[in-house]
Amino acid sequence: MVWGCVAARRWHGSLAGIVGVVATVVVATSSPAEAARRRHRAPAYSPPYAAMVVDAKTGRTLHAENEDAPRIPASLTKVMTLYLLFEQLERGRMQLDTNLKVSAYAASQAPSKLGLRPGSTIEVEDAIKALVTKSANDVAVAVAENIAGSESEFAQMMTAKARALGMSRTTFHNANGLPSSPPNITTARDLTILGRAIQDRFPRYYSYFSTRVFHYAGRAMPNHNKLLGRVEGVDGIKTGYTRASGFNLITSAKSEGRHVVAVVLGGRSGASRDQIMASLVREQLPRAYAGARTAPVVAEAPSQDRPKPAVVAEAPRSRPSDEAPVETTAAIPRVTPAKAEVAQAAPTAPIAKPLDLSNIRPVVASASGSTATPSNLRWVQGPQPTQRAETAPREVVASIAPVPVRATVESAVDARTDGKNARAGRTVVAKADAKAEPEAKSIARPSGWIIQLGATEDEGKAKDILAEAKAKSRGVLAKAEPFTEKVTKGNATLYRARFSGFEADSAQAACKALKRSGFSCFATRG
């Protein structure tokens, strides 16, 4: 009996102690101070948002929100990786069945990944599909290393290409978009430029972005872009996600002759991002122009300067995600690539100096496509004239639909000395037949001021640029002399499309008029 009473007292005492402990814990965890501390340890997920929709036919902005604010692209980075890979295919340096070697570094990348082993290989076509659908980080690095030798060198090429395309606020530090310090940085506006450029430049390869399922090594990997087949008109292109960036998407949509490119950055979830994009496409696509395209396509503008990193606050480092959310302009000129070695990036504030070349022989547009310009030219840097920001020369690589130019060729040689630098030049002048332009005068190396419209690897296209510009100039170029100028650096050769015969004021006025007609242009001393 005594024992029972003692046991009962002990049980009740233990129970009271347990209840007290539980009550203390409940009070402690529910106190405002503790709740605040818990919130501080786990901040609310709030990625910065930005969006933009551009009419691809006119270059008109249909919607914009924080479009120029710096953002982390995450796996949207891989669109530029694919741009440079497509460039290798276009130039014949790689084929779709070329085997890419996989290094230990590439194989070690964090998911999402294909799981490639060090020392293995993957064909280019499989690499493309793996990037488009699975957004494979190991494949992106393998592509970078096979093209540039190292990912860091490839990232410099990516930044150079971005600046050449006019993506002035974009800087890349890796090929796959995984978190890095400093991080890859871009803007919604810059990504609309890239989304348009990759379609215009590589229509044959752009179709890979519509791949629904990628079959590889016995696995079926669906595309992370869930708008394909669900939103009318959507034909690609790429998704992206890290915690620091939020859920990102570039989309292209076409319907009833209309075409828009849209970007959403910083979605709070894959589903909400997709919903926002679907709404933008449905609202803005009907507003797009349904007629013939009026905007020239995106142009590459090579510069002699190396890319300079963008100055932005370092974003918080975040862990890459392995879930499905891992992963897709204003009037812009048309794309035809310069050699990758030449298309180096301009500084963030693109006030570039004109290239001053020695022993250049200008060539007036002719139908023959031949040139007397030697290929072993020397690249010489000399003093440059001061340029205002709005007329700062940017060598634009462009290609415009052919316009027939019929001419025969005569040549004349002269030399000109200017201050400290002696520069020799040779001019081949076009003498048009009855159906072509009036006969051009034989001139020595152009003096006074000249204007440049673009530069292309194809001399015939440079001549077409000149012919179309003259046809659309409404008399501004009536007395100007058209000529092409061959520029060689290493294995890269470009043909500049230029007009001579201006005074300083008339050159600036002609450029402004040409820009209103959709041409890129800068004025400089001859």
Which residues carry out catalysis? 75, 78, 135
User: CA 346: distance to chain centroid?
Assistant: 14
Query: Which of 520, 503, 509 minimizes the C-alpha distance to 468?
Result: 520
Amino acid at 124: V
User: Edge-to-edge strand order for the sheet containing 362-363?
Assistant: 407-418, 421-432, 362-363, 481-489, 492-502, 449-456, 522-525
Give the DSSP H/E element, type plus range, for residue 507: helix 504-516
Cα maximum dimension of the chain: 131
Closest to 334 (Cα-Cα) out of 466, 502, 165, 179: 165
Write out the two tokens for 446: 């152009």
Can you tell me whether residue 104 is helix, strand or coil? helix
Strand order in the sheet with 234-242: 61-65, 50-55, 258-267, 246-255, 234-242
Which residue's entry shows tokens 């040779």?
426
- Are residues 209 and 237 in contact, defined by beta-carbon separation less than 8 angstroms? yes
Tokens of 349: 């504030």
Sign of the torsion formed by the C-alpha atoms of 346, 151, 336 and 355: positive
Do residues 338 and 494 lie in contact, with contact meaning Cβ atoms separated by under 8 Å? yes
C-alpha 521 chain-centroid distance? 20
**What are the phi and psi torsion angles at 456 (to 5°)?**
-145, 155
Distance CA 381, CA 374 (A): 19
How many residues are recorded in the chain?
A: 526
Tell me the pairing of strands 219-222 and 50-55.
unpaired
